[in-house]
């Protein structure tokens, strides 16, 4: 088998499994092609510092010419499977798909579910609207693809409804394991949020919940906010107006390479997004043994569904549900802390690069494997 991946860039949420594809004896060659290494603004977040030693065994092409693209499409046609990511956002990927139409090759897509968040409102673009858009704009590509690797159960259901022609597999983003050890925490419950400070990420809901908690006399906690964005000044002012600067601390943006070390110092990570196609920081948190609270509008909620010891999924539409989840985690903090090693081990055996890589290859070989992160 020869696997060719056409991607938007060399982002850190797929490379951790891609670098292990070549380890499998069933795979003879892996090719990874993208127009750029990273988007410019990603360098400021430290994306350029990621190290993937085994990627040296993968043929990596940056901004390949049309001639190079044709050479890739022509090679080992019968044994090759071409997987495309970022069809709707990358002119490069869409161009390659169109160029590939002349070749009798196997194709698949790696994709998140439809983006339903618009105008600051969850579900502002309902699924029926995405169905109409698909049949008007994208249906012409339907029969070109054999496989869909969909990020999360919600995305799987959506793509299965669109067509019976595809083989649709539950998939996930993957983050690099880091050797840092977690720190045993004591005293106040230590919460952390890492992400963009924009309305879609729901940081306002998070801060309001903690202010409400404090007003109810519950103060045995601290919350660290990591990131920057359009709501930062408003959020900082809201915290100051409520006199909680010593409880809710803004740490600013940090480099991606520093995230695992920082996470090691906390008990609970919260991702309160109004919409997130996945939310790879949930992977990172679990890899450090943290308990996770995330909204039901995050694809990565799938990582928490089969075992409540890993985290809590709250409803973004249910008033007070986030506050209730936070209170429950405070009340249960001793149990949460005692199971940190258990979460750490689960992440290694269920969402690490080698595990996700083997799962993908099993799917492509028609073996119908169990989805590791749903176990």
DSSP-assigned letter for residue 138: I
Tokens of 349: 């055996």
The full length of the chain comes to 375
Q: Distance between CA atoms of 161 and 156, rounded to whole angstroms? A: 9
Q: Distance between CA atoms of 339 and 191, rounded to whole angstroms? A: 16
Return the SS3 of 206.
Answer: helix
Distances (CA, A) of 195 to 37, 236, 245, 251, 269: 21, 15, 19, 11, 11
Which helix (H) or strand (E) element contains residue 259?
helix 259-263
The predicted structure's pLDDT at residue 256: 82
The predicted structure's pLDDT at residue 186: 93
Is the separation of the CB atoms in 71 and 128 below 8 Å? Answer: no
pTM of the model: 0.94
Which helix (H) or strand (E) element contains residue 330?
helix 321-331
pLDDT digits (tens, 9 = 90+) for 86-144: 888 899 999 999 999 999 999 999 999 999 999 889 999 999 999 898 888 888 888 89
Q: What average pLDDT values come out for the chain (375 residues) when binned by 10 residues?
A: 96 92 97 84 50 79 96 96 92 95 95 93 92 87 93 96 94 89 90 97 98 97 97 97 97 90 96 97 97 98 95 96 98 97 96 98 97 96
pLDDT digits (tens, 9 = 90+) for 258-309: 899 999 999 999 999 999 999 999 999 999 999 999 999 999 999 999 999 9
CB-based burial of residue 174 (10 Å sphere; 0-12 exposed, 13-18 middle, 19+ buried)?
A: buried
Q: Distance between CA atoms of 204 and 30, rounded to whole angstroms? A: 43
Mean residue pLDDT across the chain: 93
Return the SS3 of 5.
Answer: strand
DSSP-assigned letter for residue 118: B
Return the SS3 of 342.
Answer: helix
Hunting for tokens 């390949």 — which residue is that?
Answer: 64
Domains (ranges, CATH) in the chain? 2-174+352-374 (3.40.50), 189-349 (3.40.50.2000)
The predicted structure's pLDDT at residue 48: 53
């Amino acid at each position: 088998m020869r696997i060719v991946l056409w991607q938007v860039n060399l982002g850190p949420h797929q490379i951790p499994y891609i670098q292990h594809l070549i380890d499998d004896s069933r795979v003879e060659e892996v090719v990874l092609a993208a127009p750029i290494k990273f988007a410019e603004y990603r360098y400021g977040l430290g994306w350029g510092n990621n190290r993937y030693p085994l990627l040296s065994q993968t043929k990596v092409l940056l901004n390949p010419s049309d001639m190079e693209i044709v050479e890739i499409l022509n090679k080992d046609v019968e044994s090759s499977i071409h997987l495309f990511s970022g069809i709707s956002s990358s002119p490069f990927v869409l161009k390659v798909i169109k160029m590939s139409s002349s070749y009798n090759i196997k194709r698949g897509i790696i994709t998140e579910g439809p983006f339903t968040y618009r105008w600051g409102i969850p579900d502002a673009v309902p699924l029926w609207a995405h169905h109409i858009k698909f049949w008007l704009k994208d249906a012409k590509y339907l029969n070109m693809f054999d496989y869909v690797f969909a990020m999360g159960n919600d995305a799987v259901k959506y793509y299965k409804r669109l067509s019976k022609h595809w083989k649709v597999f539950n998939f996930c983003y993957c983050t690099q394991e880091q050797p840092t050890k977690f720190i045993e925490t004591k005293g106040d419950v230590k919460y952390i949020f890492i992400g963009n400070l924009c309305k879609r990420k729901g940081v306002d809901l998070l801060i309001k919940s903690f202010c409400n908690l404090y007003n109810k006399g519950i103060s045995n906690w601290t919350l660290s906010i990591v990131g920057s964005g359009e709501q930062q000044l408003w959020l900082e002012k809201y915290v100051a107006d409520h006199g909680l600067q010593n409880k809710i601390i803004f740490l600013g943006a940090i480099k991606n390479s520093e995230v695992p070390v920082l996470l090691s110092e906390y008990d609970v990570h919260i991702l309160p997004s109004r919409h997130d196609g996945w939310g790879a920081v949930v992977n990172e948190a679990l890899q450090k043994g943290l308990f996770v609270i995330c909204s039901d509008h995050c694809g990565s909620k799938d990582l928490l569904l089969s075992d409540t010891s890993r985290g809590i999924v709250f409803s973004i539409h249910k008033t007070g549900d986030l506050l209730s989840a936070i209170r429950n985690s405070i009340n249960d903090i001793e149990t949460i802390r005692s199971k940190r090693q258990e979460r750490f081990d689960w992440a290694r055996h269920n969402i690490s690069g080698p595990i996700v890589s083997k799962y993908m290859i099993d799917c492509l070989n028609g073996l119908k494997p169990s989805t590791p992160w749903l176990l």
